Amino acid sequence: MKICVVTGTRAEYGLLYWLIKGIAEDPSIDLQLIATGMHLSPEFGLTVSEIKKEFKIDSEIEMLLSSDTPVGISKSIGLGTISFSEAYQRLDPDLLIVLGDRFEIFSAVTAAMISRIPVAHLHGGEATEGLIDEPIRHSITKMSHLHFTATEVYKKRVIQLGEHPKRVFNVGGLGVDNIKKLKLLDRASFEESINFKLIGRSYLVTFHPTTLEFASAEQQFGELLSALRSLKDVSIIFTKSNSDTDGRIINQLIDDFISENKQHAVAYSSLGQLRYISALSHVDCVIGNSSSGLAEAPSFNIPTINIGDRQRGRIKAESVIDCAPTKAAILDAIKMIDSQAFQSQLRQAKNPYGEGGASEKIIQIIKAYDFNDIIKKTFYDL
């Protein structure tokens, strides 16, 4: 069986890593791997080089234009659809596996649907009400044929979209597999790997644009930076924004902040999965609006300050503090971390995305599934 996996971002590849590895090591499966999007961009860390250290890439699909405007991203989607259709004609996969909700994946699945290639979609049914990813995710669900969700609530939501329960499987969050399987760097090794020493309170900051809000990225991230500037004796690790509209504005603001605060701040386009997960084990708090603050950070019993609406609608652990994208609200949230009530809540927090093992479950289900007539779907009425 030829299984083709598509990856377009550093974060998504980190989630897919153990699944890709499991497929590659299974003698009954022929792995095909397509890298696209930010992986191929020097601006975003050229992370395709990290993939090539471990896996053979069967196709590199250049679709990311230098513009992150709505017109630029729309053109990238069109270019991606054309290029994926050509890659599928050459690779002829039996199944396509995709994760999430980004525009690169929308292109990949649109082309697969037209090519009559079955699609397995991971992490469907989730809600991010502040993002264009929300309608993209649900559109991908309707173009897919097998569904692997991270929680039971998300499984029910996919079924609510008309997908048959026999095609929907709750396997837990893929991010937890990294936490369970990676041998993380100790503090000294981690500090050496990023050439930066953690002194005082340490924060891991990742902030992406909220794509359903107009002209908000610069203002909202400016509020966060203003809050961070007012803190004393802190160490800040930034991971840069993605290629969404206005992502480059955020990255320029990070560069400006670093130039003024080199003694207590450092930034990376991509830490890579090992260093990122290791960072979670050493920092005191995650700040920003990345999904990793909700899906992975709770496993380390560290607080997450989740800013604004980007992740609104997602299931959250008790370790997550939601706050408005204002300096005052962010500083109030940072102050809340030390309160006795929150510390008690933090000790009892559990990751709602499971205890790991999602990758193995997905492979077992796919291998046992009968793919006869899988392309034909009926709408499942509740």
What is the pTM for the complete model shown?
0.85
Express each pLDDT in 93-134 by its tens digit. 999 999 989 999 999 999 999 999 999 999 999 987 766 788
DSSP 203-235: EEEE----TTSTT-HHHHHHHHHHHHHT--SEE
Among candidate residues 245, 269, 267, the one with its CA nearest the CA of residue 256: 267
365: its two tokens: 């289900």
Among candidate residues 140, 206, 184, 177, the one with its CA nearest the CA of residue 17: 177
Asked, colleague to colleague, whether 2-172+357-368 and 185-348 share their fold, the answer is: yes
When pLDDT is averaged across residues 229-234 and rounded to a whole number, the result is 94
Residue 375 is predicted with a pLDDT of 95
As a whole number of angstroms, the distance between CA 8 and CA 33 comes to 11
Residue 315 is predicted with a pLDDT of 92
Amino acid (1-letter code) at residue 184:
L
Task: Identify the residue with better confidence: 123 or 269.
Answer: 123
CATH superfamily of 185-348: Glycogen Phosphorylase B; (3.40.50.2000)
158 and 125 Cβ atoms separated by less than 8 Å: yes
Residue 145 is predicted with a pLDDT of 98
CATH superfamily of 2-172+357-368: Glycogen Phosphorylase B; (3.40.50.2000)
When pLDDT is averaged across residues 215-240 and rounded to a whole number, the result is 92
Among candidate residues 122, 3, 93, 103, the one with its CA nearest the CA of residue 63: 103
Length of the chain: 382
When pLDDT is averaged across residues 317-339 and rounded to a whole number, the result is 95
Q: What is the mean pLDDT of the chain?
A: 93
Domain regions of the chain by residue span: 2-172+357-368, 185-348
Residue 313 is predicted with a pLDDT of 84
- What number of CA atoms fall less than 13 Å from residue 234's CA on the CB side? 19
